[in-house]
Structure 1
Amino acid sequence: LSSEPNLGVWKVSARAGDTATEVDVRVEEYVLPKYEVKVELAKPWFLVDEPIAGHVTATYSFGKAVRGELQVKASRYVGVWEEFAAFTSPIDGEGEFQLQAAGFVAGVPEAGGLGNVTLEVTVVEPATGYQEKTTEMATVASTPVNVQVIPESPVFKPALPFSLLVVTETPDGQPLEAAVTVDVTYQDENYSQVGQERRQVETKRGTAVVALTPPAGAVTLSVSAVSGDAYAFKEVAAGYSPSGNFIHVEQLEPVLLKIGDRASFRVSSTSEARHFYYEVVARDRVVFTGSSDSPEISFDVTPAMAPSAKLLAYQVLPTREVAADFIPFDVEGVYPHQVTAVFNAGEVRPGDQVQVDVRTEGPARVGLVAVDRSVFILAENRLNLQQVFAELERLYMQPQAELHEAEPLPGPIVMPGARETFQDTGLLVLSDKRVPKGKQLERPFLEFQRGFGGDVIPMAAVAGGPAAEDAPAAPAKAQGLAEVQRIRQFFPETWIWEHVTSDDQGRVSLLVQAPDSITTWDLRAVAVSPEKGLGVAEASLRVFQPFFLQADLPYSAIRGEEFPVKVALYNYRETPQELLVEL
Structure 2
Amino acid sequence: MYKPGQEVKVRVLSLHGAELLLVTEKYPEIWVTTPSRTRVAQWNNVDNSGGLVHLSFQLADEPEQGIYTISVKNSQNKVTEVMFEVEEYVLPRFEVKVNSPVYILARAKAFSIGVCAEYTFGQPVRGNVTIEVSNSLRNQCQTKLVKTKDIAGCTAFQFTTEELRVIDCSVRVVAVEVVVEEEGTGVRQTDGANIWIEMQLYSFKIVYKDKYKKPNLPYTLKARLTFFNGTAAERVPVEVCAAGKCATMFTQEDGIIATVVWANYVESIKISTLDHVLTSDRPPSIGTSSPFYSPSNSSLVIQAPGGRVKCVPGQKTRLNLPVLFSCQQSSRAGIHAQKTQAPRNISPSDRVSRKDPIPGPKRWNWRASELPIDPDHLIDGFPPTYPSPPIVRAKFSLQVVLPPTASPKVKLLIWDTRDDGEVVADSVQLDVERCLGFSAQTPRGQRHGPPGEEIELSLESEAHAVCSLGVVDRSSELAAQGLHYRPSAETLLLASLQPRRGCSWSPPQVDDEKYCARKIFEGSVGEDPSHSFGEHSYSSDYVDSLKMFDNSGLLVISDMTLELDHAKERTGKVSGR
Could you state the TM-score of these two structures normalised by the residue count of structure 1?
Answer: 0.57
Cα distance between partner residues in 2 of 1:38 and 1:168: 31
Q: Give how far 1:179 is off.
A: 2.3
What does residue 56 of structure 1 align with? 115
Equivalent position SS for 2:254: coil
What does residue 239 of structure 1 align with? 291
Give the fraction of aligned pairs with identical amino acids, expressed as a percent: 18
Deviating more after overlay: 87-96 vs 196-205: 196-205
Are the equivalent residues in 2 in contact too, given 1:241–1:323 (CA < 8 A)? no
Q: Which amino acid in structure 2 is aligned with residue 94 of structure 1?
A: C
Cα distance change on mapping 1:65 and 1:427 into 2, 3 Å: farther
Are the equivalent residues in 1 in contact too, given 2:249–2:257 (CA < 8 A)? no
Cα distance between partner residues in 2 of 1:239 and 1:255: 26
Equivalent position SS for 1:305: coil
Cα distance change on mapping 1:15 and 1:35 into 2, 3 Å: farther
What does residue 418 of structure 1 align with? 545
Among residues 217, 224, 232, which one is paired with 2:271 in the alignment? 224
Cα distance between partner residues in 1 of 2:559 and 2:342: 27
Are the equivalent residues in 2 in contact too, given 1:253–1:263 (CA < 8 A)? no
> Are 1:209 and 2:265 matched, yes or no?
no
Among residues 174, 179, 187, which one is paired with 1:117 in the alignment? 174
Q: Which amino acid in structure 2 is aligned with residue 241 of structure 1?
A: Y
Superposed, 1:446-461 pairs within 5 Å as none
Equivalent position SS for 1:367: coil
Cα distance between partner residues in 2 of 1:22 and 1:414: 48
Q: Give how far 1:362 is off.
A: 4.1
What does residue 319 of structure 2 align with? 263
Q: Give how far 1:293 is off.
A: 4.7
Cα distance between partner residues in 1 of 2:84 and 2:566: 46
Q: Give how far 1:164 is off.
A: 1.5
Are the equivalent residues in 1 in contact too, given 2:340–2:412 (CA < 8 A)? yes
Equivalent position SS for 1:423: helix
Q: Which amino acid in structure 2 is aligned with residue 89 of structure 1?
A: K
Among residues 124, 127, 130, which one is paired with 2:187 in the alignment? 130
Q: Give how far 1:436 is off.
A: 2.4
Among residues 151, 167, 176, which one is paired with 2:233 in the alignment? 176
> Are 1:85 and 2:152 matched, yes or no?
no
Cα distance between partner residues in 1 of 2:559 and 2:79: 36
Superposed, 1:528-567 pairs within 5 Å as none
Equivalent position SS for 2:405: helix
Structure 2 stretches of 5 or more lacking a match? 1-7, 9-31, 37-65, 353-357, 365-395, 486-538, 573-577
Cα distance between partner residues in 2 of 1:50 and 1:436: 60
Are the equivalent residues in 1 in contact too, given 2:427–2:548 (CA < 8 A)? yes
Deviating more after overlay: 46-55 vs 334-343: 334-343
1:275-304 deviation digits (Å, cap 9, x = unpaired): 222222334333343455573211333213
What does residue 563 of structure 2 align with? 436
Q: Which amino acid in structure 2 is aligned with residue 240 of structure 1?
A: F
Superposed, 1:462-501 pairs within 5 Å as none
Q: Which amino acid in structure 1 is aligned with residue 320 of structure 2?
A: S
Deviating more after overlay: 239-248 vs 54-63: 239-248
Are the equivalent residues in 2 in contact too, given 1:149–1:225 (CA < 8 A)? no
Q: CA RMSD in A?
A: 4.4
1:45-69 deviation digits (Å, cap 9, x = unpaired): 2334422312211122233222222
Equivalent position SS for 1:304: coil
Cα distance change on mapping 1:435 and 1:382 into 2, 3 Å: farther
Equivalent position SS for 1:137: strand
> Are 1:248 and 2:301 matched, yes or no?
yes
Cα distance between partner residues in 2 of 1:383 and 1:413: 50
1:172-216 deviation digits (Å, cap 9, x = unpaired): 322121423333233xxxxxxxx4242423332211212222x23
Cα distance between partner residues in 1 of 2:434 and 2:216: 37
> Are 1:103 and 2:165 matched, yes or no?
yes
Cα distance change on mapping 1:436 and 1:84 into 2, 3 Å: farther
What does residue 204 of structure 2 align with? 147
Are the equivalent residues in 1 in contact too, given 2:97–2:116 (CA < 8 A)? yes
Among residues 140, 145, 162, which one is paired with 2:219 in the alignment? 162
1:295-319 deviation digits (Å, cap 9, x = unpaired): 3211333213364423222233344
Cα distance change on mapping 1:83 and 1:9 into 2, 3 Å: farther
1:111-149 deviation digits (Å, cap 9, x = unpaired): xxx922221222223544432222212121233222345
Are the equivalent residues in 2 in contact too, given 1:69–1:89 (CA < 8 A)? yes
Cα distance change on mapping 1:196 and 1:366 into 2, 3 Å: closer
Cα distance between partner residues in 2 of 1:63 and 1:438: 71
Cα distance between partner residues in 2 of 1:201 and 1:13: 59
Equivalent position SS for 1:289: coil
Are the equivalent residues in 2 in contact too, given 1:310–1:327 (CA < 8 A)? yes
Cα distance change on mapping 1:429 and 1:75 into 2, 3 Å: farther
User: Higher RCO, 1 or 2 (CA under 8 Å, sep at least 6)?
Assistant: 1
Q: Which amino acid in structure 2 is aligned with residue 238 of structure 1?
A: S
Cα distance change on mapping 1:443 and 1:60 into 2, 3 Å: farther
What does residue 375 of structure 1 align with? 476
1:466-510 deviation digits (Å, cap 9, x = unpaired): xxxxxxxxxxxxxxxxxxxxxxxxxxxxxxxxxxxxxxxxxxxxx
Q: Give how far 1:341 is off.
A: 7.0
Q: Give how far 1:264 is off.
A: 0.7
> Are 1:196 and 2:323 matched, yes or no?
no
Cα distance change on mapping 1:265 and 1:57 into 2, 3 Å: same
> Are 1:289 and 2:351 matched, yes or no?
yes
Cα distance between partner residues in 2 of 1:9 and 1:419: 52
Superposed, 1:275-354 pairs within 5 Å as 275-287=334-346, 288-290=350-352, 291=358, 293=363, 295-305=396-406, 307-332=408-433, 336-340=438-442, 347=449, 350=452
Are the equivalent residues in 1 in contact too, given 2:416–2:424 (CA < 8 A)? yes
Superposed, 1:518-529 pairs within 5 Å as none
Cα distance change on mapping 1:355 and 1:159 into 2, 3 Å: closer
Cα distance between partner residues in 2 of 1:21 and 1:417: 46
Are the equivalent residues in 1 in contact too, given 2:177–2:192 (CA < 8 A)? yes
Cα distance between partner residues in 2 of 1:378 and 1:313: 54
Q: Give how far 1:424 is off.
A: 3.1
Cα distance between partner residues in 2 of 1:45 and 1:383: 31
Cα distance change on mapping 1:360 and 1:148 into 2, 3 Å: closer
Are the equivalent residues in 2 in contact too, given 1:310–1:326 (CA < 8 A)? yes
Cα distance between partner residues in 2 of 1:25 and 1:441: 57
Q: Which amino acid in structure 2 is aligned with residue 206 of structure 1?
A: G
Cα distance change on mapping 1:98 and 1:423 into 2, 3 Å: farther
Q: Give how far 1:238 is off.
A: 2.2
Q: Give how far 1:250 is off.
A: 0.6
Q: Which amino acid in structure 2 is aligned with residue 320 of structure 1?
A: G
Cα distance between partner residues in 1 of 2:169 and 2:404: 43
Among residues 114, 124, 131, which one is paired with 1:65 in the alignment? 124
Are the equivalent residues in 1 in contact too, given 2:270–2:287 (CA < 8 A)? yes
Q: Give how far 1:255 is off.
A: 8.4
Deviating more after overlay: 354-363 vs 289-298: 354-363
1:207-247 deviation digits (Å, cap 9, x = unpaired): 1212222x23x152332322423362314122332524432
Cα distance change on mapping 1:138 and 1:184 into 2, 3 Å: same
Cα distance change on mapping 1:117 and 1:356 into 2, 3 Å: closer
